[in-house]
């Protein structure tokens, strides 16, 4: 068998699930942020894999030949991945800023204890 896409997607899915699990269960707010990063990176993996195996240049079905009527980007997935990394970085910065502000008010970063919006 030729090179398959499936293992890459599986790794991405596994990472995503680990990330979800962490977002939902970790007590530490920074831990939650780290798991969010994990999820984003898992999504990145998916994007790269799709571009490599299903994209116009590396398409396994057409033996890597670009169709003649295609005028779009050849490395769209990769470019999207870089943008996601950028956005993740910005979002992590903002998230940390929020955590610092919350810590200044609540003196704790245990998400279980930050429940002032409760009924």
Partner 1 sequence: MLENAYWIALIPALSLPINLARKFKEPIPGYIGSALVAVAWLWSLAIFFTTMGATEAYRVTVPWIPGAPSIYIGFQIDHLTTMMLLVVTTVSLMVHIYSIGYMHGDAQFNRFYAFLGLFSAAMLGVVLADNFLLLLICWELVGLTSYLLIGFWYAKPSAMKAAKKAFVVTRFGDLGMLIAAVLMWREFGTFDYDAIFRALPEASVVIVGAIAFLLFAGAVGKSAQFPLHVWLPDAMEGPTPVSALIHAATMVAAGVYLTGRAFPLFEYGSLHTFQWGVQGMLTIGVTPLGLVRWLGVSTLFLCATIAVAQNDIKRVLAYSTCSQLGYMMMGIGLGSWVAGLFHLMTHAFFKALLFLGSGSVIHGSGTQDMREMGGLARKMPKTYATYMVGYLALIGFPLFAGFWSKDAILDAAHLLVGEGAWLYMALGLAGAFLTAFYMTRQMWMVFWGDSHRNPSIHAHESPASMWAPLAFLAVPALLIGFVGMPKMNVIKQYLTVDQKYSAQTRIHTNTVESTEDVQRGDGRPLYLSGRALDAPGVDPAIRAAHGEEHHGPAYLGGLNPAVVYPGTAVALLGLLFGWLMYRSATKKSVEPAAQHAAALGLSADHPAHGGHDAEPVDSAGFWRDPLTVLGPVWKFLENKWYWDEIYWAVLVVPTLTLARIFSWIDKYIVDNVVNGVGLLGLWTAKFAYNLFDTYVVDGVVNGLGLLARKAGGELRRMQTGRVQNYAVVIFLGALLLMIASLGAFRLPR
Identify which of 105, 83, 91, 115 has the alpha carbon closest to the alpha carbon of residue 32: 91
- Rounded to a whole number of angstroms, the minimum distance from the CB of residue 101 to partner 1 is 14
Measured from the CB atom, the residue of 26 and 78 that comes closer to partner 1 is 26
Nearer to partner 1, 66 or 114 (CB): 114
| DSSP classification of residue 28 | B
- The least CB distance from residue 19 to partner 1, in Å, is 11
Per CB under 8 A, residues contacting partner 1 are: 20, 23-25, 32, 111-112, 114-119
In angstroms, give the least distance from the CB of 72 to partner 1.
25
65 vs 97 by CB, closer to partner 1: 97
What SS3 class is residue 110?
Answer: strand
Contacts of 19 (CB under 8 A, 6+ apart): 35, 36, 37, 38, 39, 42
Nearer to partner 1, 82 or 106 (CB): 106
Residue with tokens 């999504």: 43
């Amino acid at each position: 068998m030729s090179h398959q896409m499936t293992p890459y997607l599986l790794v991405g899915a596994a990472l995503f699930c680990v990330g979800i699990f962490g977002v939902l269960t970790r007590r530490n707010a920074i831990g939650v942020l780290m798991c969010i990063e994990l999820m984003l990176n898992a999504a990145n993996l998916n994007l790269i894999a799709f571009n490599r195996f299903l994209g116009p240049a590396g398409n396994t079905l057409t033996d890597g030949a670009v169709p003649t009527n295609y005028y779009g980007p050849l490395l769209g997935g990769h470019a999207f991945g870089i943008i996601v990394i950028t956005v993740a970085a910005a979002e992590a910065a903002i998230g940390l800023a929020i955590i610092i502000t919350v810590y200044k008010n609540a003196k704790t970063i245990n998400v279980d204890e930050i429940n002032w919006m409760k009924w």
